[in-house]
Structure 1
Amino acid sequence: MKLIQRMSLTSRIGLLFFLVAVLIFSGVGTYLYRSLAGQLEYRDDQELIGKISLMRHLAEESDSIAAIRKDPHYFLDAAASHDRLIIMLKDMNGNIILHTNSDQGSLPGISVLPLEMHPVRRSITLLWTSSGLTARAIAAQGKVRSGEKIVIVVARTASDRMELLKAYRVEIGMAALCGTLLAALLGYLVVRRGLRPVKLIAGQASSITAHRLDTRLDLSSAPQELHELVQAFNAMLDRLDGSFQRLSQFSADLAHDLRTPLNNLMVQTQVALVQARSVEDYQGLLISNVEEYERLTRMVESMLFLARVEHTHVMLNKSALSLPEELQRIADYFEGLADEAGVTLSVAAGGKVYADAILLRRALGNLVANAIPYTPRGATIVLKGAKTAEGVTVSVINPGQGIAAEHIPHLFNRFYRGDAARSNSATSTGLGLAIVQSIMALHGGRATVTSEENGLTEFALIFPAH
């Protein structure tokens, strides 16, 4: 088994060709051998039936048993051309009148056909002579002119037929062996040529590296049977290329976002160390440093959360949650921040949603915290929840300048900021909307956004029906 596993695909298929050829040639050879043996046996049986009928006729032409003993040349002439043919004539007392080819041995007693019964194939008996030869024999009564009855036995030994079959068996064996080897060799060559496109595909695949993920396998050069495999491989390369591009962008964005607070910490500390400062100056430096540390902490926690979500290490604890209660809880939590920004939070919800309470609150909290800075003073942010045809939709709607259309497809990407000024915000990590999207993916739902210029912007969380 291990040897077969180490064999190439071409060798395996060639071996299968060999085994199939062995079975086919063996089956065909066996069939031909049995067919020839059956035909020879049938011809022998017909000859025996013809001979027993001829012997009956010759007996009827003989005057008496004594005449047969005196001049048996008619019977001898009938058997002269057959060295394997045994003819035995006996009277009704069992005395032998004539016995040709006695060197092949005597015959045992067999059933005798009555005088009025014609010989048929089922009357023939397989027996062994006293010398150990197999023979097929038939016995029947005959009658001479004098009215005396005799027993006629005609037998044919199988030696000549067996010799013919033996020679034929050797020829069939040699033909089957040569045919099997030829079929295996041709099968190996055909398979090797047929698998040439696979080698070409393998060569194309081996040329793909981390720096050439945009290369795709040539579908036109692949046989029809491999189109599905090539398409699946190309689709995998598309996913890998996309993931690699996102990873590269993520690494660049991460380095950029980490550099800003780290530079702030380093520069502020270096400036403070240039000369002695008052206690108040040091306290102000520490407060500023704490803000940067908090920003770094939020960024690291968000990244860890996203990593756990991608590797399905976040366990959901779903339950039926009241939408009015959950949305009001969020509104109460952000009431102070909304008052400082001069905006109002309004809840318009009904029904229930089947979700993880902690993750739902985190997603809604990110959306509300994202909406407050972009809502004009005096305006209202609406937290809306209702049952829809798709399931349950929870929305955060706020008026404002709106989001440009070119930014909308990228809003849920990590570290993406549509507002360049916002990149310097000490409270932003650029991961809030990415976390919202990951939370919805855990729930089997999705997050969407629609925005009108100088109109309403709506972030919607669509949960599947329970």
Structure 2
Amino acid sequence: MPRKSISHKLAVSFAVLMFCIALAYALCLRVSLRESLHKQMYNELQFRYSLIEPLFSTEQNLSNWDELKSKLLSLTNAEGSRVRYWVLSDNPEFQIGGIPPEHVDLFALKDGFSQISREEKDKCPLFLLTKTIQYNNGKIPLHLIVSIDSTPYMGTLNEFTRILIFITGFGIVFVTLLGFIISRKGMKPIELLSQQAHKLAPGISGQRLDAALLPEELRGLAEAFNGVLARQEKAWLQLESFNADVAHELRTPLASIIGQTQLALSRKRKNVELEDCLASNLEEVERMASIVNDMLFLSYAQTGKQSPKLTDVSLREEAIKTAEYTEPSFTDRNIRLVIHGDVQACVDKRLFTRSLANLLENSARHAHEDTQVIVDLSCDEDLATVEVRNYGDQIESLHLERLFERFYRVDNSRSQSVTNHGLGLSIVKAVAHMHGGDTFATSSNGINSFGFTLKLKK
């Protein structure tokens, strides 16, 4: 199911927002107008009452009652029945106003303002003002009722409501269209960014998005994407270099196997010569197998998986065992191995031994003869540090940054490729990452330091 565009979502959001605001505003206006109309009708009722009340207070003679009745009927007729007057009394002789609306008991009305509904569908309620007055010097209590028909007022309110509905509907449509236009215009930089991204051709290095043309909100995204492109280029360059290194490392033993095999088959050989050829070929095949196994391990470690076989061990004890294993490499060059410190950590003993052995073998190869190699074991907060220092030739900074890359050697001649295929330090880095740590290398004042960190489990 296709997803709606951001422009459509923004336009709908504008419409919903406009509807809510307009509805609240319209309701407030309508309620305000209705209350104003009610107040106006109450004021008019009060005014009408103030006009007729003196007639009852000044005319206290019963002989003038017919004249008073005539005046009220004249006022009612003059208003066109919009305003009506009723005078109620227990004595039927003192009642004025004719028949009240059906189903309305005027005698039940209490003094003050009130309203009564009418059964006719096209008629609006009557608003009334009821007052009790004393006639004939207080001898005759009368209920004076002034009513006003609210139909004209409610008609004004209904007309205002219809206009509000029209304006609100028109405003919602207008804001929706305007919001869509604004959102489309606001999305132009994203379209520009998309066009630039589509123009990036594969295989061409140095391509970047032009962040200067984008607004501030998208500039960070473009710069982040450019960073991805830069890292991708670096990864591709490393991959190309890696492929070349793999091809070189495997080509040499393959060429040796093929050459020796062709030479052995060029003429009849004695069994001893054939055995020597097979032994040499086996040595080359074992070297190739070692490279393949190391590559498989690095590929597994690159997936980000952590070692499942963690054991709480003393790193000093494991370092001593590893030192015994690598002792021949140090003895041949009269190098003394010293181990300082101890850390209790949860590690994969096999991987820890392998990585430390690679560091020790590397130090033994490059340390000056008749010196010492120092292994420092320490911890800082939640990291354990394994550092191997030796006394050797200064390593340039450009090499230090790449020592832990696959097949990278400071010596480009690959003079030691027969015994070292350039994956030892890469394995150290992979083991460190599998234990939540990282690698480091420094070189200054004739001291070269290589090591890795391990995350301490809590």
Q: What TM-score, normalized to structure 1?
A: 0.87
Counterparts of 1:165-176 in structure 2 under 5 Å?
A: 165-176=157-168
Aligned length: 451
The counterpart of 1:347, out of the listed 318, 321, 338, is 338
Give the AA of the match of 2:115.
L
Return the alpha-carbon distance in structure 1 between the equivalents of residues 327 and 120 of structure 2. Answer: 120
Does residue 299 in structure 1 map to residue 291 in structure 2?
yes
Deviation of 1:143 (Å): 3.8
Give the AA of the match of 1:48.
L
Match of 1:397 in 2: 389
Match of 1:44 in 2: 41
The counterpart of 1:333, out of the listed 321, 325, 337, is 325
Give the AA of the match of 2:97.
H
Closer, same or farther in 2 for the Cα pair 1:76/1:245, shift >3 Å?
A: farther
Identical pairs, percent: 27
- 8 Å contact 1:384–1:394 — kept in the other structure? yes
Deviation of 1:22 (Å): 1.6
Match of 1:85 in 2: 83
Return the alpha-carbon distance in structure 2 between the equivalents of residues 130 and 415 of structure 1. Answer: 99
Q: What TM-score, normalized to structure 2?
A: 0.88
Moved more, 433-442 or 320-329: 320-329
Closer, same or farther in 2 for the Cα pair 1:112/1:61, shift >3 Å?
A: farther
Match of 1:457 in 2: 448
Match of 2:24 in 1: 27
Closer, same or farther in 2 for the Cα pair 1:40/1:192, shift >3 Å?
A: same
The counterpart of 1:182, out of the listed 174, 178, 183, is 174
Deviations 1:314-348 (A, max 9, x none): 52433443344222212211223444x33334233
- SS, match of residue 343 in structure 1: coil
Return the alpha-carbon distance in structure 1 between the equivalents of residues 101 and 45 of structure 2. Answer: 17
Give the AA of the match of 1:282.
L
Closer, same or farther in 2 for the Cα pair 1:71/1:318, shift >3 Å?
A: closer
Gaps of 5+ in 2: none
- 8 Å contact 1:385–1:392 — kept in the other structure? no
Return the alpha-carbon distance in structure 2 between the equivalents of residues 130 and 365 of structure 1. Answer: 103
Closer, same or farther in 2 for the Cα pair 1:349/1:94, shift >3 Å?
A: farther
Give the AA of the match of 1:97.
Q
Closer, same or farther in 2 for the Cα pair 1:461/1:107, shift >3 Å?
A: closer
Give the AA of the match of 1:85.
V
- 8 Å contact 1:112–1:141 — kept in the other structure? no
Match of 2:127 in 1: 136
Does residue 97 in structure 1 map to residue 129 in structure 2?
no
- SS, match of residue 405 in structure 2: coil
- 8 Å contact 2:363–2:373 — kept in the other structure? no
Return the alpha-carbon distance in structure 2 between the equivalents of residues 324 and 103 of structure 1. Answer: 110
The counterpart of 1:14, out of the listed 4, 7, 11, is 11
Return the alpha-carbon distance in structure 1 between the equivalents of residues 403 and 120 of structure 2. Answer: 103
Counterparts of 1:220-231 in structure 2 under 5 Å?
A: 220-231=212-223
Closer, same or farther in 2 for the Cα pair 1:83/1:316, shift >3 Å?
A: same
Gaps of 5+ in 1: 114-118
Deviation of 1:236 (Å): 2.8
Give the AA of the match of 1:62.
E
Deviations 1:281-302 (A, max 9, x none): 2222212211211111111111
- SS, match of residue 360 in structure 1: helix
The counterpart of 1:53, out of the listed 46, 50, 53, is 50
Match of 2:401 in 1: 409
Deviation of 1:276 (Å): 2.1
Return the alpha-carbon distance in structure 2 between the equivalents of residues 65 and 157 of structure 1. Answer: 31
Deviations 1:173-220 (A, max 9, x none): 111111111111111111111111111111122223432463333333
Give the AA of the match of 1:128.
S
- 8 Å contact 1:309–1:438 — kept in the other structure? yes
Deviations 1:26-59 (A, max 9, x none): 2211211111111001110111122223222122
Give the AA of the match of 1:233.
F
Does residue 277 in structure 1 map to residue 301 in structure 2?
no
- SS, match of residue 427 in structure 1: coil
- SS, match of residue 238 in structure 1: helix
- 8 Å contact 1:272–1:282 — kept in the other structure? yes
Does residue 126 in structure 1 map to residue 115 in structure 2?
yes
Deviation of 1:146 (Å): 6.0
Return the alpha-carbon distance in structure 1 between the equivalents of residues 85 and 183 of structure 2. Answer: 61
Alignment root-mean-square deviation, CA:
2.8
- SS, match of residue 54 in structure 2: helix
Return the alpha-carbon distance in structure 2 between the equivalents of residues 87 and 54 of structure 1. Answer: 12
Closer, same or farther in 2 for the Cα pair 1:66/1:140, shift >3 Å?
A: farther
Return the alpha-carbon distance in structure 2 between the equivalents of residues 281 and 415 of structure 1. Answer: 34
Does residue 384 in structure 1 map to residue 375 in structure 2?
yes
